[in-house]
């Protein structure tokens, strides 16, 4: 059986796939690691389209991570980018958004209200244990009376996200198109690739579907 060819930076470890890429040399002096790795959440049995979609997401996360090494101001990032950084932190810790959103037992909550004291672990207690950096960051920010760096902001958001029930974010047709181009190895900078992209852009402009949100599994 021939070895399967994966997109650049995708490697198989046993039965699972990961995205692994070297930090650019110019950024190594501010990076704690030489390699950046992200599990794709897929096995080697995944289809080409599944790998392409996961690759595109991991590649965006890598590029965003590199930006944080160059610019630490949260003001330089969009809300979506800050949320993505928080999601990356949760992923690396083996956590998920909303993981501790429903930890309270209603019968004990009723007793807490009567007794006016805490009788069970709340979502923030679980979050404190899972993301211990949170307390240190809050202490530092209060002591120094400063705003957080983008890395600190991501941790603050991750701490909040793990306690908050999240709605599934729909994807757009354009995001699926980007994955399709990757899967088909279409380079939009070539003449043929430009022609293909042009036909897609024209179709989306005509139908107005480019940003229509759809709910499809990865």
Summarize pLDDT for 8-31 with one digit per residue, the tens: 999 998 999 999 999 999 999 999
Query: What span, in angstroms and rounded, lies between the C-alpha atoms of 98 and 84?
Result: 15
Same domain, 179 and 154: no
Same domain, 162 and 180: no
3 state SS of 3: coil
Long-range (24+ apart) CB contacts under 8 A made by 83-86 are: 83/157, 83/161, 84/60, 85/150, 85/151, 85/153, 85/154, 85/157, 86/154, 86/155, 86/157, 86/158, 86/161
Query: What span, in angstroms and rounded, lies between the C-alpha atoms of 65 and 59?
Result: 10
211 has pLDDT over 80: no
Domain boundary pick from 23, 42, 70: 70
Per the listing, tokens 């279409």 go with: 186
Same domain, 161 and 82: yes
Same domain, 184 and 135: no
DSSP conformation class of 175: H
Query: What span, in angstroms and rounded, lies between the C-alpha atoms of 126 and 102?
Result: 11
203 has pLDDT over 80: no
pLDDT at 25: 93
Same domain, 208 and 132: no
44 has pLDDT over 60: yes
Which tokens is 59 given?
Answer: 């590649």
Same domain, 37 and 95: no
Same domain, 193 and 112: no
- How far is Cα of residue 31 from the mean position of the Cα atoms in its chain? 19
Which tokens is 194 given?
Answer: 């430009």
Which tokens is 160 given?
Answer: 């909040």
Same domain, 125 and 155: yes
Same domain, 99 and 143: yes
Domain that holds residue 38: 1-70
pTM confidence score: 0.70
Question: Distance of CA 134 to CAs 75, 77, 97, 154, 206, Å?
Answer: 20, 21, 16, 10, 48
Q: Where are the beta strands (DSSP E) in 32-147?
A: 35-43
10 Å CB burial of residue 54 (0-12, 13-18, 19+) is: buried
208 has pLDDT over 90: no
Same domain, 62 and 83: no
Query: What span, in angstroms and rounded, lies between the C-alpha atoms of 81 and 71?
Result: 13
pLDDT at 214: 45
Domain boundary pick from 23, 50, 70: 70
Same domain, 144 and 187: no
**Distance between terminal CA atoms of the chain?**
27
Same domain, 106 and 27: no
Structural domain count, the chain:
3
Q: What are phi and psi of 135, to 5 degrees?
A: -60, -40
Domain boundary pick from 70, 95, 118: 70
pLDDT digits (tens, 9 = 90+) for 57-116: 899 999 999 999 999 999 999 998 999 999 999 998 999 999 998 888 989 989 888 889
Q: Which of 34-38, 49-53, 54-58, 209-213 has the lowest mean pLDDT?
A: 209-213
């Amino acid at each position: 059986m021939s070895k399967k060819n994966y997109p650049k930076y995708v490697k198989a470890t046993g039965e699972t796939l990961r995205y692994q890429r070297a930090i650019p040399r110019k950024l190594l002096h501010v990076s704690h690691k030489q390699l950046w790795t992200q599990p794709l959440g897929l096995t080697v049995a995944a289809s080409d389209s599944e790998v392409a979609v996961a690759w595109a997401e991991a590649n965006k996360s890598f590029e965003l991570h590199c930006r944080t090494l160059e610019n630490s101001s949260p003001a330089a990032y969009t809300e979506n980018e800050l949320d993505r950084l928080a999601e990356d932190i949760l992923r690396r810790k083996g956590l998920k958004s909303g993981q501790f959103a429903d930890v309270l037992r209603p019968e004990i909550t009723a007793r807490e209200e009567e007794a006016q004291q805490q009788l069970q672990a709340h979502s923030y207690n679980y979050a404190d244990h899972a993301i211990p950096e949170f307390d240190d960051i809050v202490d530092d920010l209060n002591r120094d009376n400063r705003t957080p760096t983008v890395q600190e902001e991501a941790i603050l958001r991750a701490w909040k996200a793990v306690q908050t029930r999240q709605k599934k974010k729909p994807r757009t047709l354009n995001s699926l198109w980007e994955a399709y181009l990757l899967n088909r190895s279409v380079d939009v900078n070539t003449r043929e690739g430009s022609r293909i992209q042009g036909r897609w852009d024209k179709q989306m402009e005509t139908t107005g579907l480019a940003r229509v949100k759809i709910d499809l599994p990865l």
